[in-house]
Structure 1
Amino acid sequence: MASEDLALGTIFLLQTIVGFLGNFCLLHHYLFLYYKGCRLRSTDLILKHLIVANSLVILSRGVPQTMAALGLKDFLNDFGCKFIFYLHRVGRDVSIGTTCLLSVFQAIIISPWISKWAELKKKVTKHIGTSNILCWILTMMLDIMVPVYVTDKWSNKNSTKKKDYGYCYVVIYDKITYFLYVPLLLFHDVLCLGLMLWASSSMVFILYRHRQRVQRIHKTNISSRTSPESTATQSILVLVCTFVSLSTLSSIFHTCSAVYEFSLWLVNTSTLLAACFPTVSPYILMSHDSRVSRLCFA
């Protein structure tokens, strides 16, 4: 085994372990609060779905990529390849959708009651669960074509283009269908990113106006305590900024690997970057949630 493959396998393994442990601890925290009868925040249900989606991304891509980097190349059959790639794509798209839902929902919640969002704010909490379920259903329908373009390394099917992930192939049989389907996937990503940026800008503006109002009221004695809503909003802003940055980098490397001549280095780098957000997001959320700190360090 080459030293580069060993180093790459070690990096994938560490990323998988750290990411899975972080998401498991955060999910355990929410389940602990639920069974203790604690009052959960309105965003906690969305975060549970985000944790599940992130765990799917980490396990469905991190584990096989680690095994392939460590020398196990042909451990999946055709069904296994299709299932793993479909699971990864669903987890990735649900992660994007729930992060978008989280940012939009928080922007509506912290908006002033006198704004045009007042009526929507009264109803939005009732439809969180439905929105999450709808996100899963639409994503599973959108990604239904993904297994068509995936096959195991033992297949000898003819294709115009083939990309080797070390343990499975992504192949293109029909260019016309492929180039019609890819824009649909890109539209989903661009729409979610656009909504995230709009919601983040709205939250920054609302927090800025709120701080100015507080400073005018308390000119002589400004309280250093931060409201729970502001803390939750700040954590979501950090989460969205992290997602947008990592997603942009991953998309650049993924595009380069698709446009230019095949390079396993570009594929591995894109895979590492794609798994970075599911890995770091639970630690971002835990660092901004005092309930987790009290539970972990009690």
Structure 2
Amino acid sequence: MNKDNTLYYSAYRIAFFSEIGIGISANSCLLLFHTFMFIRGHRPRLTDLPIGLMALIHLVMLLLAAYITEDFFMSSGGWDDITCKLFIFLHRFFRSLSVCATCMLSVFQAIILCPQSSHLAKFKLNSPHQLSCFFIFMSIFYTSISSHILIAAIATRNLTSVNLIHITKSCSFLPMSSSMQRTFSTLLAFRNVFLIGLMGLSTCYMATLLCRHKTRSQRLQNSKLPPKATPEQRAIWTILMLMSFFLIMSTFDSIMTYSRTIFQGNQSLYCVQILVAHGYAAFSPLLVLNNEKRLTSLMISMYDRIVTLESLCS
């Protein structure tokens, strides 16, 4: 590896682990916030459970990504077939859970927001149970399509082999036949179109209802000033931003994946794809925390308690 490539890989490594560090910190804060709110006995919102679940999934996924990608930049030299299969499959599994949890959050919020006259209103009473079953079913289906990793992933024994698809310096994929590749590509396209399409529809539905509500509120108030956003409206805007961010990052990830199939062996494309593939998991909790007004109230409450304790001790 020449000096220029070394500089490029060092830049990619710094960028990736900076992204991972931000993501682990943000998801940990979001998970601790929801856990602390639950322990304190605050009445949870209906979307708190899906958001807390997403934070936990993203936290584990980023930890696995950091361990796997470190082997891409600097070979550990100690990975065998079982280690490669286990870590790569677990990483794909938690990526599947991330997509399914995001879809569940979008559909769940759309059901909560729908008016009583809508056909979706009949799902409101049983939506937590039904969506939990939907999440479990979609996670199993989504993961089963990636089960070939348990066979295809092997420890790299010959770095010069042209038949292997290298993932890291220690792990590679065995090449698939053209028929198997077409089958898995079709299944992958179907699952992505289905879930992303479902998220897109629910996002458009929420945006339409929110615009109608805003217009109706302005007419009732007969004022040009925009009405003050309620906590429910802020929650909807947060989820709309999450869905939009997810759709953008998924589109970029698909483009990078397709580009890698055309320009095989291009390590720079693989590095960029790694950054894009984990962008949603790393930065989505920042969107939630930024719009979470309860976090500000919690911090003020904790600060007041600390000041009170210090005054009593002195």
Give your verdict on TM over 0.5.
Answer: yes
Q: Partners of 1:27 and 1:284 in 2: how far apart?
A: 14
2:152 aligns with: 149
Counterpart amino acid of residue 136 in structure 1 = S
2:70 aligns with: 66
2:165 aligns with: 162
Q: Which moved more, 1:35-44 or 1:263-272?
A: 35-44
1:266 aligns with: 269
Q: CA deviation at 1:11?
A: 1.7
Q: CA deviation at 1:195?
A: 0.7
1:132 aligns with: 135
Secondary structure of the residue that 2:118 maps to in structure 1? coil
Equivalent of 1:54 in 30, 51, 58 = 58
Q: Partners of 2:299 and 2:191 in 1: how far apart?
A: 37
Counterpart amino acid of residue 205 in structure 1 = T
Equivalent of 1:291 in 290, 294, 298 = 294
Secondary structure of the residue that 2:148 maps to in structure 1? helix
2:308 aligns with: none
Does 2:10 correspond to 1:26? no
Q: CA deviation at 1:163?
A: 3.2
Q: How many residues align?
A: 297
Note the alpha carbon deviations across 1:29-75, whole angstroms, 9 max, x for none: 11111111111111111112212221232122233213432x33534
Secondary structure of the residue that 1:169 maps to in structure 2? strand
Aligned identity (percent) is 24
Larger radius of gyration: 2
Equivalent of 2:203 in 195, 200, 204 = 200
Counterpart amino acid of residue 273 in structure 2 = S
Query: Which structure 1 residue ranges, 5 or more long, are not aligned?
Result: none
Q: Partners of 1:181 and 1:74 in 2: how far apart?
A: 30
How large is the RMSD of aligned CA atoms in angstroms?
Answer: 2.3
Q: CA deviation at 1:226?
A: 1.2
Q: TM-score scaled by structure 1?
A: 0.91
Q: Partners of 1:138 and 1:236 in 2: how far apart?
A: 25
Preserved CA contact (<8 Å) 1:78 1:152: yes
Preserved CA contact (<8 Å) 1:160 1:171: yes
Q: Partners of 2:170 and 2:152 in 1: how far apart?
A: 14
Q: CA deviation at 1:265?
A: 0.5
Q: Cα 1:222–1:120, aligned 2, differ >3 Å: closer, same or farther?
A: farther
Q: TM-score scaled by structure 2?
A: 0.86
Preserved CA contact (<8 Å) 1:56 1:87: no
Q: Partners of 1:155 and 1:295 in 2: how far apart?
A: 55
Equivalent of 1:9 in 7, 10, 13 = 13
Q: Which moved more, 1:115-124 or 1:21-30?
A: 115-124
Q: Partners of 1:37 and 1:155 in 2: how far apart?
A: 57
Preserved CA contact (<8 Å) 1:74 1:153: no
Q: Partners of 1:169 and 1:295 in 2: how far apart?
A: 47
Q: Partners of 1:127 and 1:96 in 2: how far apart?
A: 18
Preserved CA contact (<8 Å) 1:239 1:284: yes
Q: Cα 1:34–1:162, aligned 2, differ >3 Å: closer, same or farther?
A: same
